[in-house]
Amino acid sequence: MRTDQDQPVRLADYQPPDWLVETVELDVSLHPTATRVRARLKVRPNPSARAAAPLTLDGDGLTLKSIKLDGRPLSADSFTATPDKLSIPQPPQRACLLEIETLVDPTANTQLTGLYRAGATYCTQCEAEGFRRITYFPDRPDVMAIYTTRIEAEKADAPVLLSNGNLVASGDVAGTTRHFAVWHDPFPKPSYLFALVGGALGHVEDAFVTMSGRNVALRIYVEPGKESRAGFAMDALKRAMRWDEQAFGREYDLDIFMIVAVSAFNMGAMENKGLNVFNDKYVLATPDTATDADYASIDAIIAHEYFHNWTGNRITCRDWFQLCLKEGLTVFRDQEYTADQRSRPVKRIADVRVLRAHQFVEDAGPLAHPVRPDTYREINNFYTPTVYEKGAEIVRMLKTLLGAQGFRKGMDLYFKRHDGHAATIEDFVGCFADATGIDLTQFMRWYRQAGTPEVAVTMSHDAKARTCTLALAQMLRPTPGQSVKEPMVIPLAIGLIAPDGHDIPLTLADGRAVERGVLVLSDPAETFVFTNVGTRPVASLNRAFSAPVKLTANLTPDDLHFLAAHDSDPFNRWQALQTLASTLLTDNVKALRAGNPMRTDGGLVAALGTILADPQVEPAFAAQALAVPSEADIARELGRDVDPDAIFTARVALRAELGNALGAALRDAYRRLSDGGTYSPDAASAGRRSLKNIALDLLAASGSSAAIALAARQYQSADNMTDRLAAVSTLSLYPVRERQAAIDDFYRRYQSDPLVIDKWFALQAAIPEPATLERVQELTRHPAFSLGNPNRVRSLVGAFTQMNQTQFNRPDGAGYAFLADTVLALDGKNPQVASRMMTAFRSWRALEAVRRARAEAELKRVAAAPSLSPDVRDIVERSLAET
Ligand code: 0A1
Ligand code: ZN
């Protein structure tokens, strides 16, 4: 473990590396507990750095076996080596060859970074700073080198040996039971993109012909016997490769592209050059084991990692502060890919739901940070919704501001100018400014300033003057370390809708048209006057969620109903309904807190009924409309004095009302959509299933015993996991006999299938009842539970703390204590997953006083623990810091 964690790293302190590495030759001899790593590094002083600098290499828990410089062993007094650092104070100031031998124990590696074992498979995870757990190295992304990797292992244990690049040699090691493979990657890359895999793996194979006619072999490696589950992932890969050629002109560059699915992985997947390593959850799928949502995630993540080949690998980050350079841009690219593959409006709605649920919440609490942070203690804690999702929103805004053509020009310039280099955000934005001539200086604030901007809009209409005026004002609240904020550049896509439902041409007072319907707000307050507007229109604001802001406007309930029915922008039709529902729910929570009766909203119910009955509306959209704001959404809207029990009660009441009032239409939709055809994961079929299952869920919410019987029947007769899991999830919400029967049956059916058993754990952890905490605690002792498997931890502990608002936030604090205990137990094994679990406390200050005090006490208990990883310490200290 590193020891310099008390010293934060600062962007302002960036210095180019003193030494560069030209080539790396690795020779890795795999062994369960004593893997020998020989590294031959051709190093040379960096001409653009300090003169006569020492040669310092990073390490993390390493044991040095031998070291040579230019072929000669180094004398003991000419270097120092600790587990965390190798230093040669006075190296020759010229190119030289450094040979280092280290020994690592992959079986003892429970952190799952560096070289570790997932089951029996050897694999690596080097982002962000894992390579230094394999060998001493200047482990920073601006040191780009060419790698050749020889791997050796027992043939019987690891018949498959893989690394980055192309295979150049393989064979038996004469006179032994071992064999070897040599891989060469001709593209210079940072150490975090290095990967190596060894094991007994099966694979599926396909091929792709690139736009210039090159043939690329495609392979997906899985546990033997699971090959038939990799077909959808392979199909996704080919679609992603084609899309990147068509949408961005980007072609794949090696002769082979490999994906390896492993059962133990800290994150979703990793974009190692030519050798992506995946959490098997995002590769393996059959209709009987994966839901529609799983298929959609596989599609998106396969694409995301593939797209990194250009945005991340060929052009990488100069330093870890620039993480959003690769992540925000690549998320934007995978969102666009999915939008083109599926329904664009439904995808946008889903993405905005995620953004608000995670990023807005992060931005409103103690863990808020800029998309490009300027300081960090532990980089692993910055793989956040802000860096990823808000980072993607910034790229989307660039496209909105510059138009599709200007955006493409900027991207083309970026690829041309920075290919093969480690770049910065300034480099990236500079390409758009240079390609279009547009000044983006103020726009850069999106990278620097944390927090979600709030935009207030007041519309007025002057019938006599035939003008319509939009007065806009923006505000950005203080966030940790940033008390004073400057105005942002906010691109607001808008429309003015006439009473007949048509968009009015947007003509400004000076006769100019509003380009692409986008108003650009860059001052604290601005007023836009539109001419030739005879009757009062309804304003449709922030269409397609063009800017990641919180918007308020003087829209009446009637206006919102009008938008829900008539807006040509489907996102805002959905938003209007969400705004109505959210207003109702927050009002009712406040009423409950004050001991007053709740109100109902007949207009909202009627609007939802209209959507449900309209055959023109795509089912996936209707499902999004009927999915009322989540408990976490309501908590976020309230912002303070959050009482999860009141939120739960208000939400249950609305769902019951919808189930009752729309009963006939819901039953009708359920029947209509139960088409019984063979399962296909395509977006249209998935949309029909999601509407059918939400209909079932709302019918059950109305208290109908017929709906419970229907759910039990659907559970039994389902021919796919989407319908089966939806049925048991609906049953799980009610204390009915059918519930436990289905939960027990689910275990029996799927006990040999770890990814499905993850769902079984999550399902039970999410039951909103007082008995759940005890059930979760019991499940931690279930033979299938293990703190060693991140998917298991996320499915039980993650589901409980993130999906079960009432029980995690029990007023007696027992939910918080459980999380604290779990984090303390996990931290010694896997600090990355432990610190991620800890972020469930990120909104603790917004809770009502009793819960807030309990959460604070548990946070302080963790903070006081004798030995904490830098990862958990960082999260706990920032969570507790006074703002
Ligand atoms: N770069 C990967 C995410 C990732 C980040 C860190 C990891 O280990 C600490 C692993 C994966 C992506 O964006 O998909
Ligand atoms: Zn990524």
Judge if the beta carbon of residue 25 lies within 6 A of ligand 1: no
How close are the terminal C-alpha atoms of the chain, in Å? 30
Judge if the beta carbon of residue 331 lies within 6 A of ligand 1: no
Residues of the chain with pLDDT > 90: what percent? 98
Beta bridge partners of 847: 642
Judge if the beta carbon of residue 267 lies within 6 A of ligand 1: yes
DSSP string across 186-236: EEEE-GGG--EEEE--EEEEEEEE-TTS-EEEEEEEESTT-GGG-HHHHHH
Query: Can you give the pLDDT at residue 882?
Result: 87
Strand ranges (E), 327-435: 375-376, 422-423
- pLDDT, tens digit, for every residue of 729-767? 999 999 999 999 999 999 999 999 999 999 999 999 999
Element holding 413 (H helix, E strand):
helix 391-418
Q: Is the peptide bond before 817 cis (omega within 30 degrees of 0)?
A: no
Task: Calculate how far, in angstroms, residue 689's C-alpha sits from the geometric centre of ligand 1.
Answer: 32
Nearest atom (ligand 1) to Cα of 301 = 14
CA 850 vs. chain centroid, Å, equals 32
Beta bridge partners of 315: 311
Judge if the beta carbon of residue 269 lies within 6 A of ligand 1: yes
Element holding 114 (H helix, E strand):
strand 114-118
Distance separating alpha carbons of residues 796 and 698, to the nearest angstrom = 26
Query: Can you give the pLDDT at residue 1?
Result: 40
Dihedral sign of CA atoms 690, 692, 695, 700 in order: negative
Alpha helices in 567-701 (DSSP H): 570-594, 602-613, 619-626, 631-638, 644-661, 663-673, 683-701
- pLDDT, tens digit, for every residue of 781-793? 999 999 999 999 9
Single out the residue of 291, 417, 151 nearest to residue 685, CA to CA. Answer: 291
Query: Can you give the pLDDT at residue 676?
Result: 74
Between β-strands 275-279 and 316-317, what pairing exists: parallel, antiparallel or unpaired?
unpaired
The residues carrying an active-site annotation are: 305
| Residue 6: Cβ-neighbour burial (10 angstroms; 0-12, 13-18, 19+) | exposed
Q: Which of 126, 270, 301 to mutate to test the pocket of ligand 1 (most atoms within 8 A of CB)?
A: 270
Judge if the beta carbon of residue 279 lies within 6 A of ligand 1: no
CA angle, residues 49, 310, 339, in degrees to nearest 5: 140
Beta bridge partners of 43: 21, 96
Are 373 and 382 contacting, i.e. CB atoms less than 8 angstroms apart?
Answer: yes
Distance separating alpha carbons of residues 181 and 32, to the nearest angstrom = 18
Are 830 and 822 contacting, i.e. CB atoms less than 8 angstroms apart?
Answer: no
Look up residue 471 and give its amino acid. A
**Which residues of the chain, if any, have pLDDT below 70?**
1-5
Distance separating alpha carbons of residues 41 and 47, to the nearest angstrom = 18
Distance separating alpha carbons of residues 683 and 700, to the nearest angstrom = 25
Alpha helices in 733-813 (DSSP H): 737-750, 754-765, 772-779, 790-793, 799-803, 805-808
Task: Calculate how far, in angstroms, residue 259's C-alpha sits from the geometric centre of ligand 1.
Answer: 15
Distance separating alpha carbons of residues 469 and 305, to the nearest angstrom = 45
Taking the CA atoms of residue 380, residue 297, residue 220 and residue 831 in that order, the dihedral angle to the nearest 10 degrees is 20
Distance separating alpha carbons of residues 238 and 221, to the nearest angstrom = 16
Distance separating alpha carbons of residues 550 and 570, to the nearest angstrom = 18
Q: Residue 193: nearest ligand to its CA?
A: 1
Distance separating alpha carbons of residues 57 and 64, to the nearest angstrom = 12
Distance separating alpha carbons of residues 545 and 494, to the nearest angstrom = 10
Between β-strands 145-154 and 178-189, what pairing exists: parallel, antiparallel or unpaired?
antiparallel
Are 181 and 145 contacting, i.e. CB atoms less than 8 angstroms apart?
Answer: no
Nearest atom (ligand 1) to Cα of 326 = 13
Query: Which residue's CA is the closest to the ligand 1 atom numbered 12?
Result: 270
Element holding 724 (H helix, E strand):
helix 721-732
Neighbours of ion ligand 2 (CB under 5 A): 327, 330
Judge if the beta carbon of residue 334 lies within 6 A of ligand 1: no
Task: Calculate how far, in angstroms, residue 379's C-alpha sits from the geometric centre of ligand 1.
Answer: 11
Query: Can you give the pLDDT at residue 3?
Result: 45
Are 53 and 176 contacting, i.e. CB atoms less than 8 angstroms apart?
Answer: no
Query: Can you give the pLDDT at residue 580?
Result: 98
Sheet holding 63-69, edge to edge: 72-73, 63-69, 96-104, 35-45, 19-29, 145-154, 178-189, 166-172
pTM: predicted TM-score of the whole model, two decimal places? 0.98
Written as six digits, the tokens of 92 are 């020759």
Query: Can you give the pLDDT at residue 675?
Result: 76
